[in-house]
A = this chain, B = another copy of it.
Amino acid sequence: MLHTLHSDILIQFPDWTTDFLADNNKSFPTVESRMQLVIELSRFNVEHRTGGPFGAAIFNIRTHELLSVGINLVVASNCSIAHAEMVAICSAQQQLATFDLGASKTAQYELVTSCEPCAMCFGAIPWSGIRHLVCGARDEDARNIGFDEGPKMTEWKEALESRGITVETDICRAEAAGVLQQYARGNGDIYNGRQG
C-alpha cells in the first residue's frame, strides 16, 4: 500500500485576524486609508510571527467597505501559493460564493497589496475579477531584502491595464517598504523557491 493519496486543501487565518477585523469594521474612503490597513496587516503578520511581511485586502470601492484580507501564510499553511494577494482573492470569492469578483452589477472590487505582485499573483489577478490594483512597496523593495519576485514580465502593469484592470503604484511606498526592512532586521525567514 502507498500512503493516502489526496486531501482537501485548507488555508486558515491566524487567531489575531478576528480582532483585527472587528477593529476595522468601518469605511475606508481614500486609497491611502485602504493602504494603511494593508500595511498594518503586513506589520501584524511579522509581529505575531505568523508569516512573511506581506498584506493585502479587497475593498468594494462603491461602498468603501472591506470585503476580505490576506496575509502571507506560506509557512503556516504549508502552501507555497498562500501569498497575501491569493489569500485575499480566495477569501473574498468564497465569502461571496462566486469565482468572479467582476460579475456583480452593483459592487466594484479593488485589490490593495502592500507590495507589487510576484509573477504568480500577477497571473492570478486577471482570473479574479477585480477591476483595480493598488500597490505599496515596489517589487524591487522585496528583492532588496532577498525575496524573489519570480519570472515576471517587465511590462506587467501594461498587461493588466490592457485587460481593463487599473494599476496604481507607490501608495505609501516608504511605509510599506519599512515593514519589509523591519522583517529583515528581525531575521525573518526569507523563503523563496526550492531549498534543496
Contacts and interface: CB of A to CB of B under 8 A. Distances in A.
Contacts of A91: 6-9
A89 B81 contact: yes
A13 to B, nearest CB: 6
A96 B192 CA distance: 18
Q: How many copies of the shown chain assemble into the complex?
A: 2
Given A10-B8, A11-B9, A121-B123, A78 B104 contact: no
A48 interface: no
Q: Is the interface of A mostly helix, strand, loop or mixed?
A: loop
B5 A69 contact: yes
Contacts of A164: 194
A124 interface: yes
Interface stretch (A126-134, A135-143, A178-186): A126-134
Interface string A25-62: 10000000000000000000000000000000000000
Interface residues of A, number: 78
Contacts of A104: 196
Contacts of A194: 100-103, 126, 129-131, 164
Contacts of A150: 123, 126-127
A116 to B, nearest CB: 13
Q: Which 4 A-B pairs have the closest CB atoms?
A: A102-B194, A120-B123, A119-B123, A151-B159
